[in-house]
Amino acid sequence: MAVHFTTLEIGAALLGQLHTIDGMYREHKNPLFDFIQRQGRERHNLDSLAVERDDVRGMLKLLRSGRAIWYAPDQDYGAKQSIFVPLFGIQAATVTATTKFARLGKALVVPFTQERLADSSGYRLVVHPPLEDFPGETEEADCIRINQWVEGVLRDCPEQYLWAHRRFKSRPPGEPKLYAKRG
């Protein structure tokens, strides 16, 4: 489990040198860019696969076979696939898929982070211990726990996060939008 830092590609490449890891991705609308992105993600480990994020069955099959998958639960995929729990004190649509993947895929959730070093000397990859007792009693408790972890890693290096993702795009019923309409 990771977050969308600006260093996500280098983090996945570093991790791929240590362990086979497949990566979730969204097919890009531009076929050339999609080819470059996919090749870039698969080239660091000849056994790795780029798994389309909508291929839930394929991902569960890979998890059940013991493979590792790069997954980031820190994007707003809409209220339909999420529940609203706090992130930095603001209700954020948080995907419940992490709980489902861990439960149905019989998988550990192993967080990792990577950061660009301030002195420009390189990068630091940290593989954190697996989340204990995960999944928990409820999806809500799991989502709160994940958002607390996300908050912690974002506080460590907020300047390296892809804030352009509009993390608070979906709003709970009756709450105003937080972003200006794109025009």
Q: Tens digits of per-residue pLDDT, 112-121? A: 999 999 999 9
Structural domain harbouring 130: 8-165
In a domain, 183, yes or no: no
Q: Which residues contact 92 (CB under 8 A, 6 or more apart)?
A: 76, 84, 85, 86, 147, 167, 168
Query: Residue 147: left (phi > 0), alpha (psi -120 to 50), or beta?
Result: alpha
In a domain, 127, yes or no: yes
In a domain, 94, yes or no: yes
Specify the 3-state DSSP secondary structure of 22: strand
In a domain, 159, yes or no: yes
For the chain, what is the domain count? 1
In a domain, 142, yes or no: yes
- Tokens read off for 61: 């099959």
Give the tens place of pLDDT for each residue, 79-112.
898 999 999 999 999 999 999 999 999 999 999 9
The confidence band for 181, taking pLDDT boundaries of 50, 70 and 90, is confident
In a domain, 2, yes or no: no
Number of H helices, E strands in the chain: 5, 7
In a domain, 171, yes or no: no
In a domain, 181, yes or no: no
